[in-house]
Amino acid sequence: MRTHSAFFYLRYSPANLINAFKGATSKRLRNKYPYLKSLPSMWTKTYYVGTAGNVSAEVIKRYIVECQG
């Protein structure tokens, strides 16, 4: 399972893109798996945005691992 996504052209702010993605996927998952409707939230409020030129893949991987608790 993928643990991250990459957006290369940003017409909208990163916050708007992430919120739209989280909202859409939450809705689809809850419709497909009704038992998920009992969860208060599908996603954490955090997200990471960085450029490939300034952030190494290792930094991104470490951030993802740390967010997973």
The number of distinct structural domains making up the chain is 1
Compute the distance between CA of residue 22 and CA of residue 45 in angstroms, rounded to an integer. 10
Parent domain of 47: 14-67
Residue 57 belongs to domain with CATH number: 3.30.70.1290
Evaluate whether residue 2 is within a structural domain: no
Evaluate whether residue 6 is within a structural domain: no
Over 60: is that where the pLDDT of 63 sits? Answer: yes
Evaluate whether residue 19 is within a structural domain: yes
Q: Name the pLDDT band for 1 (thresholds 50, 70, 90).
A: low
pLDDT tens per residue, range 18-55 = 899 999 999 999 999 999 999 998 888 888 776 666 77
Evaluate whether residue 27 is within a structural domain: yes
Please tell me the pTM assigned to this model: 0.57
Compute the distance between CA of residue 43 and CA of residue 40 in angstroms, rounded to an integer. 9
pLDDT higher at 7 or 31: 31
Evaluate whether residue 7 is within a structural domain: no
Residue ranges of E strands in 14-62: none
Q: What is the pLDDT of residue 51?
A: 67
